[in-house]
Structure 1
Amino acid sequence: MQDQHGGWKLTLHAPCYGPVMQYAESRTLRQELYYSYATRASEFGKAEWDNTPLIRKLLQLRAEEARMLGFKSFADLSLEPKMAESPQAVLAFLKDLAVRARPYAEQDWTELETFARESLGMDKLEPWDVTYVSEKLRNQRYAFSDLEVKQYFPEDQVLQGLFRVIQQLYGLTVTRADAPTWHADVHFYNLRDHSGALVGEFYLDLYARNGKRGGAWMDDAITRRRRGNSIQTPVAYLTCNFSAPVGGKPATFTHDEVITLFHEFGHGLHHLLTQIEDLPVSGINGVEWDAVELPSQFMENFCWEWEVLEGMTRHVDTGKPLPRPLFDRMLAARHFQSGMQTVRQIEFSLFDMQLHTGFPQEDNPLQLLERIRDEVAVLRPPVWHRFPNSFAHIFAGGYAAGYYSYKWAEVLSSDAYSLFEENGVLDARTGARFRQEILAVGGSRPALDSFVAFRGRKPNIDALLRHSGMGK
């Protein structure tokens, strides 16, 4: 953001931090920003901002809560209402995935180090170089950049494409509507079926702005339920933090941001398309935590289909659609560094689960994290990196002993999407079945039963590995 002196102030918020680490030519600037980001809320800053004592207190209170309720650990308590049977089952799942992914991660890291040395003259690849060098390597290998692709995804065209997918899969129409909003950039929409009947409504708040919480999420404003002789229509909030329009041009999104939008809309559909009228299990309510990401991650797959992207792109200057050769290069780059990305998520998941499974309270969580990195990581951050201090998912976001659910749900979503691959990615009959067996039932039955009702069998990991470029 521009400051009062006419210069520019760089913040640690994702819309600023990410592009700086990806594109800034100054290695010193990247290092300075990386250090500030990596040491947030730690002993390296103001004492009153240090989360270390809070982490210890939270772990102590969670362990105490579990004992009071008769559980061996907080992880056992956390998993009681989830799909996963036990902490041991989760750890076995994660370690099996790590064994499969690590060879690909090691190959990714070797390629990155070689490129940095031979093409950029870097004798040692530092952590603050990784995102920057990765962008250079991807650009050289696949001859495109995020900035180039971004020009083909203006906001209005993206939304039209998203709403077209919803119409083709579920026979639903999305239209703008009038309602009071909390900011001029927020818009309100109706969701109607083929007869014109109102199914649900949602607010869409896409842009980052001062004072707005970072990240992207869906939240429920009103949940479907029976009230006397009528049914309460569900309403959702869909919130992102994309760059706002500048220079009189429409907002444009990176392909990753398009994926984020589809992801959050998947959560929204889970909330809006429920047919359950009992509030505790209506929409996303009552859905096992490790299955709640299934509809959102499922929606991400459509962002990689040509028949979807072809109609949702338009160059912001020329008006031309995304060229097929550029899409083919994007598709080839889809699995770029997927091995490194996978083991990174496994690292976070193992840390979370082991931290809440009998971890001695007198021990330092950083030591546990280092032991896990010895087992699965290929990229080691500096010793002063304080990742736990800003791991908000498990200390402030409700994912305690549940971070594994992202990968767990990816197994479900990839396997579910594979049925669309078999029948046609926009097949209306398969869409109707997904709506009926997954989206409509909410938490009224176990998620595994819903998956089996849709897929005809229990889930397996093969589709996830294939979608990640790590399987046949």
Structure 2
Amino acid sequence: MWAQAHQQHLIKEASDEDEKKKLGEAEVDAKAGPWRLTLDGPSYVAAMQHVPDRDIRKQVYIGYLTRASEFTAEQLESKETEKKEGAPGKDNVPIINEMLKLRKEVSGLLGFNNYAEQSLASKMAPDVQSVADLSNLILEKALPAAEKELAAATALAREAGGDEYSESNLEKLMPWDAAFWVERLKENMFDLKEEELKPYFALDPVLDGMFGLVDRIFGVEVREANGKAEVWHPDVKFFEIYDKESGEHMASFFLDPYSRPADKRGGAWMADCRGKSAALGIDVPVAYLTCNGSPPVGEKPSLMSFREVETLFHEFGHGLQHMLTRATIGDVAGISGVEWDAVELPSQFMENWCYDKPTVDGFAKHYETGEPLPEEMFKKLNDQKTFGAGMMACRQLLFGMMDLELHSNYDPDGDETIFDVQRRMAAIYTPYALPVEEDRFLCGFSHIFAGGYSAGYYSYKWAEVMSADAFGAFEDVGLDNEEGVREVGRKFRETVLSLGGGVSPSEVFEQFRGRGPSPEALLRHNGLA
């Protein structure tokens, strides 16, 4: 697929033509401009949330949603969005239709009715209808909440945005308005700045708290073992994991916590260094945990944003499934062979503990004063978690069901286009105005056309349901009930973290929970119950 992306140039206003000509990159100033916004995800999201100029937001929005479409950069810069015959843009539509056609053809040769059916044959979800049923159950709660959230953002826009947002000029917030006013609403409701939180989340205490948690609930001890293994950079730490009862050395892992832009890509991830395998004589699996936090500076330790804390817990959850496995066949040990829609269960499960006050109190202390995270800040963190939950759920449900619709009922040779499908599904799953005519979002939907999520995007929400329900088992016994939490934690370790990919995730979950997954806990955690 083409990865064409245009750049939007946002140039500050100049008083006359001569001044405009003089304005160039040599005079770049962070506050005064000129500014260049690329259409990668972080820049796009930041523009949608924070650029006050409505016309610029629209320009960036249209630019982002017409990447790799029939619209050329020249058309967009001139604000001419009508398709021209023979426009030379690198258009993904023919490629997408060919991919959908070939996927359907291959599925037929393999005995399936469509590609979605083929995809789900190797996943936890039994069929498309089961995914649709779960999605619609969540939608019943999420859509009314999303409509209320959008109404609150609209009310703020009408109050603070001027005449262009009045009822006479605007019936509904446009797609390039919603994120901006939702963000303003969030700022009004939660005056919680990231820089105020960071001093309470120094890396070493956060690690101690996370390791203390797995000691408490899973009965494993994490020991720092620097010097026992060769590392590729002085920043890298090495740890070993032991069973507390038997003293068995169960696993080891490397932690590479800091950003190094010159030789390390961004993001955070877990990867297996070596997996458990009886055939290869490997009894102690080893994992890599990689983050991109800010390194220490002088006497100041590495300080983390709260999102970075959640991410660390998330990746450690993946690592625990790899490292605490009891499966001895390499292809199904740890995370290997785990179905795509179940592999995020341990990682998302671990994130829930970032909102458990005793757990957070164990590591959230000001690095200079030792003062604990103020109660008011913790409450705002919890309240923020559910802010916009309705709109976010609807967005994910739309993507998941649109993906399945394209891979089950859509006919690439029929009269309906992929964008007709998008509009039809958007009418069901979102509270927003329907996509604008030039919306070509699907041309850049790399998850399902250039990644591993074809007929599988629903997996995000499916795993969320399971992880919330799994955490619900701890809530059922009471998070302050140490004996009960320990008992449930051992059961989670013996099932979800131990059995690997050799047992179906449905059976694994039922062994742990005593029943199949329920969305009740997810809806409750998101304030949608």
Q: TM-score, normalised by structure 2?
A: 0.79
Q: Which residue of 1 aligns with 2:324?
A: 273
For the aligned residue pairs, the C-alpha RMSD in angstroms reads 3.0
Preserved contact between residue 275 and residue 282 of structure 2 (Cα < 8 Å)? no
5+ residue gaps, structure 2, are 1-24, 31-35, 74-87
Q: Any idea what SS the aligned residue of 1:412 has?
A: helix
Alignment of 1:394-409 (within 5 A): 394-409=448-463
Preserved contact between residue 465 and residue 518 of structure 2 (Cα < 8 Å)? yes
Q: Which residue of 2 aligns with 1:298?
A: 349
1:422 aligns with 2:470: no
Q: CA deviation at 1:322?
A: 1.4
Quickly say closer, same or farther: Cα 1:452–1:429, change in 2 above 3 A.
same
Q: Which residue of 2 aligns with 1:101?
A: 142
Larger deviation, residues 347-356 vs 460-469: 460-469
Alignment of 1:115-126 (within 5 A): 115-121=156-162, 123=165, 125-126=173-174
Preserved contact between residue 135 and residue 145 of structure 1 (Cα < 8 Å)? no
Distance in structure 2 (CA, Å) of the matches to 1:344 and 1:39: 19
Preserved contact between residue 23 and residue 132 of structure 1 (Cα < 8 Å)? yes
Larger deviation, residues 82-91 vs 315-324: 315-324
Preserved contact between residue 222 and residue 239 of structure 2 (Cα < 8 Å)? no
Q: CA deviation at 1:410?
A: 1.8
* TM-superposition CA deviations, 1:83-130 (whole Å, max 9, x none): 222112222221232123211111111011111221343615443343
Q: CA deviation at 1:386?
A: 2.8
Q: Which residue of 2 aligns with 1:379?
A: 432
Q: Which residue of 1 aligns with 2:278?
A: 226
Distance in structure 2 (CA, Å) of the matches to 1:82 and 1:238: 26
Larger Cα-atom Rg = 2
Q: Which residue of 2 aligns with 1:172?
A: 221
Quickly say closer, same or farther: Cα 1:466–1:81, change in 2 above 3 A.
same
Q: Which residue of 2 aligns with 1:133?
A: 181
Q: CA deviation at 1:447?
A: 1.2
* TM-superposition CA deviations, 1:359-386 (whole Å, max 9, x none): 1013422211110001111134543333
Distance in structure 2 (CA, Å) of the matches to 1:279 and 1:31: 51
Q: Which residue of 2 aligns with 1:37?
A: 64
Q: Which residue of 2 aligns with 1:143?
A: 191
Which of 233, 243, 254 does residue 202 from structure 1 map onto? 254
Q: Which residue of 1 aligns with 2:306?
A: 255
* TM-superposition CA deviations, 1:51-96 (whole Å, max 9, x none): 4343223222221221121111111111112222211222222123
Q: Which residue of 2 aligns with 1:435?
A: 493
Q: CA deviation at 1:326?
A: 1.5
Percentage of identical aligned residues = 40
* Corresponding letter in the other structure for 2:330: L
Preserved contact between residue 198 and residue 303 of structure 2 (Cα < 8 Å)? yes
Q: Which residue of 1 aligns with 2:108?
A: 67
Distance in structure 2 (CA, Å) of the matches to 1:76 and 1:462: 27
Distance in structure 1 (CA, Å) of the matches to 2:231 and 2:60: 35
Q: Any idea what SS the aligned residue of 1:291 has?
A: coil
Preserved contact between residue 275 and residue 334 of structure 2 (Cα < 8 Å)? yes
How many residues end up aligned between the 2 structures?
468
Distance in structure 2 (CA, Å) of the matches to 1:151 and 1:116: 34
Preserved contact between residue 13 and residue 214 of structure 1 (Cα < 8 Å)? no
Preserved contact between residue 69 and residue 89 of structure 2 (Cα < 8 Å)? no
Distance in structure 2 (CA, Å) of the matches to 1:96 and 1:462: 10
Q: CA deviation at 1:238?
A: 3.0
* Corresponding letter in the other structure for 2:328: E
Q: Any idea what SS the aligned residue of 2:278 has?
A: strand
1:155 aligns with 2:209: no
1:54 aligns with 2:104: no
Which of 502, 505, 513 does residue 444 from structure 1 map onto? 502
Quickly say closer, same or farther: Cα 1:27–1:320, change in 2 above 3 A.
farther
Q: Which residue of 2 aligns with 1:189?
A: 239
Distance in structure 1 (CA, Å) of the matches to 2:193 and 2:456: 34
Q: CA deviation at 1:183?
A: 5.8
Quickly say closer, same or farther: Cα 1:233–1:288, change in 2 above 3 A.
same
Larger deviation, residues 27-36 vs 286-295: 27-36
Distance in structure 1 (CA, Å) of the matches to 2:293 and 2:447: 21
Q: Any idea what SS the aligned residue of 2:124 has?
A: coil
Distance in structure 2 (CA, Å) of the matches to 1:145 and 1:437: 39
* Corresponding letter in the other structure for 2:179: T
5+ residue gaps, structure 1, are none
Q: Which residue of 2 aligns with 1:370?
A: 423
* Corresponding letter in the other structure for 2:140: V
Distance in structure 2 (CA, Å) of the matches to 1:33 and 1:384: 13
Q: CA deviation at 1:213?
A: 5.2
1:345 aligns with 2:399: no
